[in-house]
Amino acid sequence: MPELNLILLGPPGSGKGTQGERLQDEHRLPYYATGDILRAAVKDQSEIGRKAQEYMDRGDLVPDDVIIGVICERIQDEEASDGFILDGFPRTVPQAEALDSEMERLGRTLSVALLIDVPDDEVVRRLGGRRTCVEQGHVFHVEFDPPAEEGVCDVCGGELIVREDDRDDVIRNRLEQYHEKTEPLVVYYEGKGILRKVDGARGLDEVAEEIRGELAIARAEGEV
């Protein structure tokens, strides 16, 4: 079967992480979420983490040169030889161009850029109620996807916290950054004929089902 090289696109809180976790289980592919990678780097106070922290706290994007190398390195890894899932990368046109160059250099192609589309007011509602596992980044929602025990991750037992950048003012800035810098990628990938879109405002299981359907169509049409 041809490799599946999948990009998850969408505004903050659209469900990229939630659906990415399911896709990772279903397709048994490595899943690279740049937000998780950067938060781990901040926690370790590595050089990348020190460079990224102030941008992340404000809800700004970290500079392209900080993140591009990190992802190009991951997709070359042996574990990604049958495909990969990218969540949160690319997020700017220069990042998308860098990914294209790297894929071309490796003799590989992107299969699908999947846009999980959600309106801004729903983003605010979702991020306001999100709880994130400090250990492994699993996500829950106090109303839409509550953990069995309040404050405790169902998957690994880690503590659930409110992310630093899930404050109202930072959420607003993240949305602005998305519309200004990331949304142009919708047209970019439409132009390459690999954009597929799902309605992310529906329930978790309905969105997962729609994604399965879109990937099945892509496979039938020979894109995957």
Which residues have a catalytic role annotated? 16, 91, 130, 163, 174
Q: Find the part of the chain contacting ligand AP5 (CB under 6 A) among 14-22, 73-81, 150-158, 216-224.
A: 14-22
**Interaxial angle between packed helices 64-75 and 93-106, expressed in degrees from 0 to 180 and rounded to the nearest 10:** 30
Binding mask 94-133 for ligand AP5 (x = CB under 6 A): -x------------------------------x---x---
Among 32, 84, 140, 188, binds ligand AP5 (CB under 6 A): 140
Binding of residue 34 to ligand AP5 (CB under 6 A): yes
The two beta strands, 83-87 and 4-9, are parallel
For residue 98, the tally of other CB atoms under 10 A from its CB is 20
145 binds ligand AP5 (CB under 6 A): yes
Phi-psi region of 13 (alpha: psi -120 to 50; beta: other; left: phi over 0): left
Q: Judged by CB under 6 A, which of 3, 27, 40, 55 binds ligand AP5?
A: 55
Q: Does 31 bind ligand AP5 (CB under 6 A)?
A: no
Q: Counting contacts by CB under 6 A, is residue 139 touching ligand AP5?
A: yes
Nearer to ligand AP5, 131 or 218 (CB): 131
Q: Is 53 in the site for ligand AP5 (CB under 6 A)?
A: no
Taking Cα atoms as reference points, which of 176, 221, 218 lies closest to residue 4?
A: 218
Which of 89, 188, 196, 198 is in the footprint of ligand AP5 by CB under 6 A?
Answer: 89
Record the tokens describing residue 168, joined without a space. 């109202």
DSSP-derived letter for residue 183 is T
Q: Which long-range contacts (CB under 8 A, 24 or more apart) does 99-104 make?
A: 99/68, 99/71, 99/72, 102/72, 102/75, 102/76, 103/5, 103/75
